[in-house]
Each structure stands twice: as C-alpha cells, then as structure tokens.
Amino acid sequence: MNKKITQNNQKIYYSTVLAVIVFMLLGLFAGNPRFHHLGPGYFTHGVLVLLLSICLLIYPLYKSHFLRVMIIVVASTYFYTLFFLYPNTGSNLIFLCLIPAISILFYDKNLFHLSLLLNTISIICLFSYVAIGDRGDLYPYISEDLIGNIINFLGSQAILYFIFYLSYERLKKQKLYYEQIKQSERLKTTGQLAAAMAHEIRNPLTVVKGFLQLYEKENTNNETSKRHYSLMINELSTAEQVISQYLSIAKPDKDTETELVNVKSVLQSVTDLLNAYGLLQDNKIVLSKVEDCYIAANTIELKQLLINIIKNAMEASKVGDSVVVTSEYKKGWVEIKVTDCGQGMSKEEVDSLGTPFYSLKSRGTGLGMMICFNIAAKYKGTIHFDSVKGQGTTVTIRFPATNAELDK
Ligand code: ADP
Ligand code: MG
C-alpha cells in the first residue's frame, strides 16, 4: 500500500516537473526576443534552464538538503535573470513574488525563512535599482507606482507566510497522529499480553489460597501460625483483586455488573490513589463539597472515568495548584464537577475531545477521554466541558440519580 502511494507520488512529481521543464523551454525558444541575436544573456538563460531541470529531475533520487538549497538558489537566480533579461515581460514580477513558495513544497521551516529573507533583500535591491538606476527607462510599470508595487510584494510574502504556517502546522499534527496510532497499537498488544498473563496467574493463586485456607482450619491451636496463615491469605486476596480489576479494564466489552455505587466513597479512593501521583508536581485534590450520592453504575468503571478526568486536570495544572472536586444531587441527577486552574482548552480542542488518539501531550495516548465518554454513555450519563484557554477547565459529569435515592 505504502509502496503504491510512493509510486503514485513519484508519478505526480515527475509529470509536474516535466510540465515545468516544457514551460521553461517554451520560454527559451517560443517568441523569445533574444533568440535571433544570441548573446551572453540568452546563454545564461539557457544554462539556468538546464541547471534547474537537472536539479528537479535528480531531486527524488537523493532528497538531500544540499539539493533543496540548490533548487531554491537556482530557481531564484533564474527568475531574477528573467526579470532583467526581459524587461518588457511585466508578469515576471509575479514569479519573483512567488519564489518562497518553492520551499513550501519541501516543508522545511528554516529553508522557508531563509528563502523569504533572501527574496525580500533581493527585491529591495531590485526596487532600489529600478528607482535610482533605471529611473523608469526599462521598468516604467514599476517606477510609476513604486509604493504600490512594494506593498503588493510585501502582501504576497505575507500570504505565502500564512499558507506555509497553516499547512506546516497541519502536517505536524498529522505526523503526531500517525505516531500515536502506532504507539496505541503497541499498547494494545502489550495490553493483551498482560491480560493473558494476569489470567494465567490467577488460577495458581486461587489453588494456593484454597490450600492455605484448609491448613488454617487444621492449625487452630497454634496462634502464631494462625496469624501467618491469615496474613498470607489476605495478601493473596489482594493480588487476586488487583488481577480481576485489571482484567475488567483490559476487556471493556465484558458485561459489567450494574450496582448501586456510592459516589462519595469512589471519589475518596480515587483521591487517595491520585494524590500520590500529584506529589510529583505538588498538585492536590480537594474534595470540597461531596454529598453522599448514589448512582446505578459499575464501581470499577466509575473509578476509571474519574481517574482519567482528574488525572487530565492535574496534568493541565501548574505546579502547586489544586484540583477541586464536588458532587451533589441536582434535579434528578448526580452532578460531579472537577475544576482546575490549568492551561484550559480552545473551543476546537474541546470539540476534539473523545476522538481516539487526540492528545496534545508528548506522551499522551489520547484514549482517556474516549473511554470516559463510553463509560458515561453506558450508564446514561453525560460529560460537559467549560474551558477557557489559559484559565482552566470545569468538567461536569452527570449521571441519573437512582430511584431508590430519589424516593427517600
Ligand atoms: P491524554 O491524556 O492521553 O492526552 P485524553 O483523552 O485523556 O488523552 O485527553 C486528550 C487531550 O485533551 C489532552 O491531551 C489534553 O490536551 C486535553 N485535555 C483533557 N482534559 C484537559 C483539562 N482538564 N485541561 C486542559 N486540557 C485537557
Ligand atoms: Mg488523559
């Protein structure tokens, strides 16, 4: 597939280059006023056409930085030479304005800046020559409205600058996106491996735990070994629990049980877990107003949702800032709010949330919000973002309050 795309791109490149060469040859031979009295000017024109054609034709073979610089230098010289050789062809000025566009094709920021700078310097020299040296002899269309021509030139460079930046940013984002797809593919395989391993470890654990429980019953008279047995059994239970939780997250498709979940205790345990994470940047989670609320959901999934959202809030926060969490009943809903005073998001960024692999973090997976939206939808809840770029974000998570609670 990739090979096909490369081949296709090469075809497009060579046909474009051929068209360019044909136009350059036409310029050299068709109706050229210097064709009939050949001289050094015409010779230079021919050499530049040859040089530029060779550079363009061999570029795909080497794709080196040197060749790119060569193409830009030769093309600039070519267009400036045309301008001086054929003063009657007023449209040559358009090409001079478009020179930096050549480096847009290479998506090289430094090259583009260099080309823009060189072109501006060259055009300043050119306009100075026209104004002082030529005095409207050969270039009356420039000297008659010098200021207008200068403004038009600057305007055209600004437009090129915009075009370059917009497409450059888009390309950068696309690159990041592909890298993240690759990374998440890797994560998926390692996740599957880990799930398979966890599953295999769970069985021997259960067997060992069963035997320990048996021996614990037999050793009723020795207090010390009884304590040791119960300690071992407890530790094994913890390990079992960790594995089960991991498995339920690794297999999101599995039917999870809907139960009455105490939001307050879930928030408490998520806070305990994440406060350790916040120590790195001195971020704290403040449970400011947390009512005893109940919703019909799955504890592990609700934890997963809250961990993702609160973790994002902490990652967006500045060093030392706190993330404030509240939860309360509101008109038949349980409303959980997570507020941070961090970097915030623009409207476009908020709209992109939940798109798989959308992440602005260098090591983000861009899967967290997708998982959150899925979990919220599963239990008929909603997630809403209020965010101001540079000021912070409030995430409002709503779940229907359970009937049992409303009836109270
Ligand atoms: P990840 O955290 O792996 O980047 P997420 O899906 O969790 O992926 O988040 C996607 C993106 O949304 C983040 O990269 C971040 O740019 C933005 N984001 C999410 N929550 C917040 C927040 N509270 N403040 C600012 N940006 C946020
Ligand atoms: Mg995240």
DSSP bridge partners of 287:
325
The helix (H) or strand (E) run that includes residue 54 is: helix 40-62
Q: Which ligand is nearest to the CA of 386?
A: 1
**For the segment 79-89, what is each residue's pLDDT rounded down to a tens digit?**
999 998 888 88
- Give the pLDDT confidence score for residue 51 in this predicted structure: 95
Give CA–CA dist 389/346, Å, rounded. Answer: 5
**For the segment 371-392, what is each residue's pLDDT rounded down to a tens digit?**
888 889 889 999 999 999 999 9
Q: Which of 177, 337, 369, 393 to mutate to test the pocket of ligand 1 (most atoms within 8 A of CB)?
A: 369
Q: What count of other Cβ atoms lies within 10 Å of the Cβ of residue 73?
A: 15
What does the pLDDT average to over 239-260? 68
**For the segment 99-133, what is each residue's pLDDT rounded down to a tens digit?**
998 888 788 888 899 899 999 999 988 888 888 88
Average pLDDT value over all residues in the chain = 86
Query: In the numeric block, which tokens belong to residue 329?
Result: 């009943």
pLDDT(210) > 50: yes
User: What are the start-end ranges of the E strands in 298-372?
Assistant: 322-330, 333-340
Question: How far is the centre of ligand 2, averaged over its atoms, from the C-alpha of 33 (Å)?
Answer: 67
**For the segment 252-267, what is each residue's pLDDT rounded down to a tens digit?**
555 668 899 999 999 9
Q: Is the beta carbon of 368 within 6 A of some atom in ligand 1? A: yes
- Give the pLDDT confidence score for residue 322 in this predicted structure: 94
- Give the pLDDT confidence score for residue 5 in this predicted structure: 65
What does the pLDDT average to over 262-282? 86
Q: Is the beta carbon of 394 within 6 A of some atom in ligand 1? A: no
Q: Is the beta carbon of 354 within 6 A of some atom in ligand 1? A: no
Question: How far is the centre of ligand 2, averaged over its atoms, from the C-alpha of 317 (Å)?
Answer: 13
How sure is the predictor about 225, in pLDDT bands with cuts at 50, 70 and 90?
confident
pLDDT(200) > 90: no
- Give the pLDDT confidence score for residue 158 in this predicted structure: 93
List, in sequence order, the alpha helices (H) in 219-285: 223-250, 263-278
Question: How far is the centre of ligand 2, averaged over its atoms, from the C-alpha of 201 (Å)?
Answer: 29
Q: Which ligand is nearest to the CA of 310?
A: 1
Give CA–CA dist 327/309, Å, rounded. Answer: 14
Give the residue among 368, 375, 334, 338 at the shortest CA–CA distance from 353: 368
How sure is the predictor about 36, in pLDDT bands with cuts at 50, 70 and 90?
confident
Residue 400 burial (C-beta neighbours within 10 Å; 0-12, 13-18, 19+): middle
Q: How many residues does the chain have?
A: 408
CA-nearest residue for atom 10, ligand 1, is 359
Question: How far is the centre of ligand 2, averaged over its atoms, from the C-alpha of 359 (Å)?
Answer: 8
How sure is the predictor about 408, in pLDDT bands with cuts at 50, 70 and 90?
very low
Please spell the DSSP secondary structure of 99-151, one letter per residue: TTHHHHTTT-HHHHHHHHHHHHHHHHHHHHIIIIIITTSS-HHHHTTHHHHHH
Collapsing DSSP states into helix, strand and coil, what is residue 402?
coil
Q: Which of 312, 355, 391 to mutate to test the pocket of ligand 1 (most atoms within 8 A of CB)?
A: 312
Q: Which residue has the higher pLDDT, 244 or 231?
A: 231
This prediction has a pTM of: 0.48
Determine the residue type at 122.
Answer: S
DSSP bridge partners of 116:
none
Give CA–CA dist 364/178, Å, rounded. Answer: 13
**For the segment 314-344, what is each residue's pLDDT rounded down to a tens digit?**
999 999 999 999 999 998 999 999 999 999 9
What does the pLDDT average to over 280-306? 89
Q: What is the dihedral of CA 149, 73, 169, 62, to 10 degrees?
A: 160
- Give the pLDDT confidence score for residue 138 in this predicted structure: 84
Q: Of all atoms in ligand 1, which is nearest to the CA of residue 392?
A: 24
Give CA–CA dist 270/204, Å, rounded. Answer: 30
Distance of CA 375 to the CA centre of its chain: 24
- Give the pLDDT confidence score for residue 55 in this predicted structure: 94
How sure is the predictor about 247, in pLDDT bands with cuts at 50, 70 and 90?
low
Q: DSSP assignment, residue 19? A: H
CA-nearest residue for atom 23, ligand 1, is 313
